[in-house]
Structure 1
Amino acid sequence: MPLTSMTGFARADGESGTEAGLVRWHWELRSVNGKGLDVRFRLPSGFEGVEARLREELARHLKRGNVQATLTVDRVRGAAPLRVNQDALDAVLAALASLQQRIEVMPPRPEGILALKGVLETCETEEDEEGHAALEKLVLVSFSEAAASLARARGEEGRKLERILSDQVDEIERLTRQAAASPATGIEVIRTRLKAQVAELLGASPALSEERLAQEAALLATKADVREEIDRLIAHVAQARELFAGGEPAGRRLDFLTQEFNREANTLCSKAADVSLTRIGLELKAVIDQLREQIQNVE
């Protein structure tokens, strides 16, 4: 199983016909890197009660990342039924009867009376609790689809990211082996340099005791030998490849490993007494820094 990125985008749409009309909804999920799983929901009024279930569902698919989930709901009202407002109709008819007693007027047509404001009313069908609960269930199903789609998108991005990381680890290994093969790390070169440093030390302080001279020589030898750093770098390369192939979220461990890489590269540079070895150390630090930046996106 490849590594998974924390960067991704997904969407899901749905619709349902109800007595109150047609309801359409739209989910958008976006995720970026984060230390843990931090989710922010933007839900329309009336859907606040499903947030806990949404969080639980998302946690089934993702382990880390900052996620923003937005739900948009549109209601398309159907043709509402009409009813006659009896009170308004009675008032109109009473007014017409009173008017006919005073002046001669043509009898009113029924459609004319019904067209008067307030005589005909539309009956809006309100969504009941059962209908809203059914709608919530459908919206949750759509969210589950969107969460699974987001996980797939992050997986696809992770496969691309893994190729980049593998190339960078390969480059770290190449530079490390180049440092190991450098003439500056050879035993004879170190011995010659050590002799020169000890001679310089004796020239500066001829009265040094044998014990102090041995201590200084041991310290110089430790500073000159980079084989330990090279061995650690090679071990870190192997560990990185194991984490790539592990199939589990490895972002945190890889982030820690880049710190170890950087520590060994810094020590290599500080011990280098040769320009070519310093150059290799600086190239190592540059690649490790690029590796660290990319790993910030790994789940």
Structure 2
Amino acid sequence: MTRSMTAFARQESQQGWGTLTWEVRSVNHRFLEPHLRIPEQLRELEGSLRETLRKRLSRGKVECMLRFVPEEQAQTLQVNEAFAKQLLAATEQMEQLMPVSQSLNPLDLLRWPGVLQDVQIDMDEVKREALKLFNKALDDLHAGREREGKELASLIEQRLDAISVVVADVRAKLPQILLNQRNMLKTRVTDLGVDLDPQRLEQEVVLLAQKADVDEEMDRLDTHVQEVRRILKQKEPVGRRLDFLMQELNREANTLSSKSIVTDTTQSAVELKVLIEQMREQIQNIE
């Protein structure tokens, strides 16, 4: 499955202790280059997050941002009722021993150490949820990469079809091109009024045919096209292989251009190079 390196994913989880939000975006890059932005209280997750990225992605510049918003209720103070009742009971006992009643002010009671308690968020639970949500975000990212990769593969297939048409056209025209060149050479000799040995003329025609022989280049172009089609169907990342094949296709197109003896084959070589460059630009985004 051809996958693009360009995608975006967002996942959010609301729990009793707060809200977690992951945003993951990726663009093309030669290697895997992760950038993580994590709240300080969840910083220790970074190692696990990077390991997950290495297992699930092979290429691309990936920016991952996590937001954590605790619930306001979870940040309020809570009265330790059991301790407060014990303190009140102890106060009543003290009042019986004291000659003058000294009622305890509620504010004084709240100031007593241990009466008010901070409600602590279970950060282990938050971390587990953050890792779980991160994998969901990566699932969405993968789905987006595959959708765009499918479109890229379709565009590449269209260019491959066009290359095959150009190659077939050159093959079909080449015999007639050589015949025309032979007749043109004879006409020039006749126009010049030169008495040229027929055997020498045939030697010149053979040399011309050898120079214009591009059967090998045509065969390699066909072979490379078939290999690109095969690689596009593979499941593992294929971007680097496809990029290498674009170089090989371009090499054959350049050779075809250098061997050209007529305008038709030169134009065909130029058309091939344009199609190959269009594919190369798309392949830069393939994982």
* Same fold flag (TM > 0.5): yes
In the alignment, which residue of structure 1 is the partner of 2:44?
A: 49
In the alignment, which residue of structure 2 is the partner of 1:125?
A: 119
Give the alignment of 1:69-148 within 5 angstroms. 69-78=64-73, 79-81=76-78, 123-127=117-121, 131-148=122-139
Give the alignment of 1:225-244 within 5 angstroms. 225-244=213-232
Q: In 1, Cα distance between the equivalents of 2:212 and 2:184?
A: 8
Unaligned 5+ residue runs, structure 2? 81-103, 195-199
Q: In 2, Cα distance between the equivalents of 1:53 and 1:197?
A: 78
In the alignment, which residue of structure 2 is the partner of 1:7?
A: 6
**Aligned-pair distance for 1:126?**
3.9
Q: In 2, Cα distance between the equivalents of 1:195 and 1:245?
A: 51
Deviations 1:61-116 (A, max 9, x none): 22211111000111122142358xxxxxxxxxxxxxxxxxxxxxxxxxx99x959x
Structure 2 counterpart SS, 1:47:
helix
Q: In 2, Cα distance between the equivalents of 1:224 and 1:192?
A: 15
Deviations 1:140-194 (A, max 9, x none): 0000111111111101111111111100111111111111112466553465578
Q: In 2, Cα distance between the equivalents of 1:184 and 1:64?
A: 47
In the alignment, which residue of structure 1 is the partner of 2:251?
A: 263
Q: In 1, Cα distance between the equivalents of 2:175 and 2:209?
A: 13
Structure 1 counterpart SS, 2:142:
helix
2:250 is equivalent to residue 253 of structure 1: no
TM-score, normalization by structure 2: 0.76
In the alignment, which residue of structure 2 is the partner of 1:26?
A: 21
* CA RMSD, 1 decimal: 3.4
TM-score, normalization by structure 1: 0.74
- Counterpart AA for 1:38: E
**Aligned-pair distance for 1:227?**
1.6
Identity %: 37
In the alignment, which residue of structure 2 is the partner of 1:296?
A: 284
In the alignment, which residue of structure 2 is the partner of 1:224?
A: 212
Unaligned 5+ residue runs, structure 1? 84-109, 204-209
In the alignment, which residue of structure 1 is the partner of 2:93?
A: none
Structure 1 counterpart SS, 2:71:
strand
2:165 is equivalent to residue 160 of structure 1: no
